[in-house]
Amino acid sequence: MSEQTQIDAFAELTVEPVPQEVAPVEEAAPVADLAPAAEVEELARVALRDCEDGQRVRGVYAVRERELRRKRNGEPWLRLSVGDATGTAEAVCWEDAEALYAMAAKGSPIHVTGVFEVSERWGAKIKIAALREAEAHEFATEDLAAESAVSIDLLETDLRSLLETVQDPQLRRLLDLFFGEDSETWARFRDAPAAKVYHQAYRHGLLEHTLSVAQAVSAAANFFPGIDREVAVTGALLHDIGKTVAYNDDPLAIDLTDAGRLQGEIPLGYYTVRRAIEDIPGFDPALAQCVLHIILSHHGQLEHGSPVVPATREAVLVHMIDNLGGRLGSFDRLERNLPAGESWSGFDRALSGSAYFGQRAA
């Protein structure tokens, strides 16, 4: 299920109170409330996952999102989403908002000094006392961008093992156009994220998600009669290929490209695969139709972004496994961001509730 589709699908299910569009002036935290500069200077960088109420924060984080908003009196204030390899946090700044907005471009590393606070009304956020551009020696990119917990070497090895199980020469040639080591698409596919927020929203995430879906489809096809395993596996491997065009390649600020916003990942994937099929002389039209139908229908419902619903056994199987993979990926995301010692996540839109990790309470 696509990022925008999930946002639309779950938007009405949110039960948490939502802050008003305009922040009250009294919520501002004056710089004087923070620790003296000398004390703050001594603080080590805090991983966002480990921030606690009242904790002073000092370090370099990546700007995931930025927004210039207005107080009731019309004065501007800055709202940021900042992140590191462990998670994300909202941050607010009440002074010099317009200048800092211009400086804090999406994807840029910024040095933040402030305090992390948790409010019953407004939630958790960093109240910023100082904000500046980060210097190159102050951070390492790997500390700011999450990656798959599975090694890229293992992911690629497993992918190539699965590719070897597809024996149909036409399907193998099609798959080689995308996953061959010399393919123009392969390098981008290997590093691309699977989503912006909800599941595998990190480097190598698309490979991790696609591989898990295709492996599960391959296994499940053996237990249900009438399924062409090779068609189903091919469709599973190609179902999200449009994301290589729909998302940017910035690991610090994953976002949709212009093509992703204007056309959508499914149409982009369909046309990408269809063009590849047309470049293969003598490709069976009926086989092409089966594979393309899986790509078009894998979101399952029209309201979730698919122009058609699944109408073949193979398409139904890929849709169901893809949906399962996305939901389980949300558990991985929540657990990755969960502070040490916690067993419950907060409310999550993708799950329409909270997630429980019982083993963490032991």
What are 197-254's pLDDT values in tens digits? 666 778 888 999 999 999 999 999 999 999 999 999 999 999 999 999 999 888 787 8
Quote the mean pLDDT of the chain.
84
Same domain, yes or no, for 107 and 27? Answer: yes
47-101: pLDDT as tens digits? 888 888 888 999 999 998 899 999 888 899 999 989 888 888 899 999 899 999 9
The three-point CA angle 259-263-267 to 5° equals: 115
Ramachandran sector of residue 352 (left: φ over 0; alpha: ψ -120 to 50; beta: rest): left
- Nearest of 124, 58, 118 to residue 89 by alpha carbon: 124
Query: Distance between CA 321 and CA 6 in Å, rounded?
Result: 16
Residue 261's CATH number: 1.10.3210
Percentage of the chain modeled with pLDDT above 90: 50
Q: Measured in Å, how far apart are the chain's first and last C-alpha atoms?
A: 34
In the predicted structure, residue 269 carries a pLDDT above the cut 70: yes
Rg of the chain in Å (alpha carbons) = 23
When pLDDT is cut at 50, 70 and 90, the band that residue 26 belongs to is: very low
For position 308, what pLDDT does the model report?
A: 96
Backbone angles phi, psi at 250, to 5 degrees: -95, 110
Give 35-56 pLDDT, tens digit per residue.
443 343 445 678 888 888 888 9
Calpha distance 211→237 (Å, rounded) = 7
- Does residue 350 belong to any structural domain of this protein? no
Mark whether 138 and 159 lie in a shared domain. no
Identify the pLDDT of residue 100: 92
- The pLDDT assigned to 44 comes to 63
| CB of 126 closer than 8 Å to CB of 57 | yes
Q: What is the pTM of this model?
A: 0.75
| 324 and 216 co-located in one domain | yes
CB 348, CB 330: distance < 8 Å = yes
- Domain assignment present for residue 50? The answer is yes
**Of the residues 97, 123, 144, the one at which a domain ends:** 144
SS3 124: strand
**Contact status, residue 187 vs residue 207, Cβ threshold 8 Å:** no
Residue 1 resides in a domain: no
Q: How confident is the model at residue 175 (pLDDT cuts 50, 70, 90)?
A: very high
What is the per-residue pLDDT for 233?
Answer: 98
* Bigger pLDDT: 75 vs 32: 75
Domain count along the chain: 2
Q: Which of 144, 178, 209 is the last residue of a domain?
A: 144
Comparison of pLDDT for 294 and 75, the residue scoring more: 294
Choose one of 90, 109, 144: the last residue of a domain: 144
Same domain flag for 203 and 270:
yes
Whether residue 324 is found in the same domain as residue 257: yes
* Same domain membership, residue 157 and residue 280: yes
Give the domain extent around 48. Answer: 18-144
Is residue 27's pLDDT more than 80?
no
